[in-house]
Structure 1
Amino acid sequence: MGEGEILDEQISSLAAPFVFFVVIAFQFATKRLQDLKKGASKTDKEMQLRGEIKQLLKEAATYSQPSTFAQAAKLRRMAAAKEKELANYQAHLTQEVKQSYDLYLKVIFITKVLIHIVLALWFWSSPVASVSQHLVQPFGRLLSGKIWGSTATVSRLGSYPG
């Protein structure tokens, strides 16, 4: 064996784990972005608005006398206005987050497709399976992949020695 053949064998033996880890990395990246897209973290403004709403409703609940009904109603209206503001803010934030993650997901998808094409072209001539000669005796020519090619491939499978 020459030094070039040993180097080729070492590279080909490292190729399978490399391909595996590249594909797994893209899968994890896609999954992580989809999870982040679904559950965007709560911002400080959102938490502040929730706290203000809770405080206003708590204050409104303390005014239970008929003489303080107007104050309680005013606090409830303020809380309702804050809830509407919170809903608008959440809708705007959700739309922003969705657009940014959609862009990242599209970039990852395009990159993933290109990587798969490059890997398919890189390993196009590499055999993916080895089948015993007696199992493919009648179907060797169909299974060889080079139906109209050289007879060396066909005879290697053992169906049509030539």
Structure 2
Amino acid sequence: MGENMEAHGRSLAAPIIFFTVVSFQIFAKYIERNKKRGMETASETQLRAEIKQLHKEASSYSQPSTFAQAAKLRRTAAARERDLAKIQESRSKELKSSYYSYSQALTILKVFIYFVMVFWFWRVPIAAVPRQLVEPFGKLLSWRAGPPLNDNLMVGIVPWLIVSTRVGKILTRRVIN
């Protein structure tokens, strides 16, 4: 009975490890995407609307007699654009530092979890794969997992983490983009 539970636990180890790896990659992609996009504040939105309105008004003045008014509106719009650029620059520095700390924390957590999984599943087979499916790479996948059993190759934790990482990156790239 205990041996059956252990085999059942090992059979769930491969998908659990895979989904853990993929979830770390999804979180990393989410942090990266939010860092690039950023959130726009109300003052930035208001400044953009004012700049657009000033440009619109300046373009409506097309007569030589209204040239001075149009030039004044264009200078005002340029000043607002400089203010907007300053606000965006200061905000981007703040966002980069906060997202950098989130990214660092995620990396540290990922390394810790990977070490725990390697320690926990060292020399324990994660999955059993028919030998014919992985014929040229059999020795590589069974590294530190034990001998073959019933013509099935045992997959170790380190190769499983590598394969899960590669497949997870491909999946997240396809799904999120």
TM-score normalised according to structure 1 size: 0.73
Q: Tell me which residue corresponds to 1:69.
A: 67
Q: Tell me which residue corresponds to 1:157.
A: none
Q: Tell me which residue corresponds to 2:88.
A: 90
Q: What aligned pairs does 1:24-103 form with structure 2 within 5 A after superposition? A: 24-103=22-101
Counting aligned pairs with the same residue, the percent is 48
Higher strand proportion, which one?
2
Structure 2: 5+ residue stretches without partners:
132-141, 148-177
Q: What aligned pairs does 1:1-162 form with structure 2 within 5 A after superposition? A: 3-127=1-125
Give, in whole Å, the separation in 2 of the partners of 1:5 and 1:54: 71
Structure 2 vs 1, CA of residues 144 and 67 (structure 1 numbering), >3 Å: closer, same or farther? closer
Structure 2 vs 1, CA of residues 28 and 144 (structure 1 numbering), >3 Å: closer, same or farther? closer
> Structure with the greater relative contact order (CA < 8 A, sep ≥ 6): 1 or 2?
2
Note the aligned Cα RMSD (angstroms): 2.5
Aligned residues: 136
Instruction: Determine which structure has more spread, i.e. the larger CA radius of gyration.
Output: 1
AA matched with 1:111? L
Q: Deviation above 6 Å: which 4+ runs of structure 1?
A: 128-132
Structure 2 vs 1, CA of residues 144 and 12 (structure 1 numbering), >3 Å: closer, same or farther? closer
Q: CA deviation at 1:96?
A: 1.4
Structure 1: 5+ residue stretches without partners:
133-142, 146-152, 155-162
TM-score normalised according to structure 2 size: 0.68
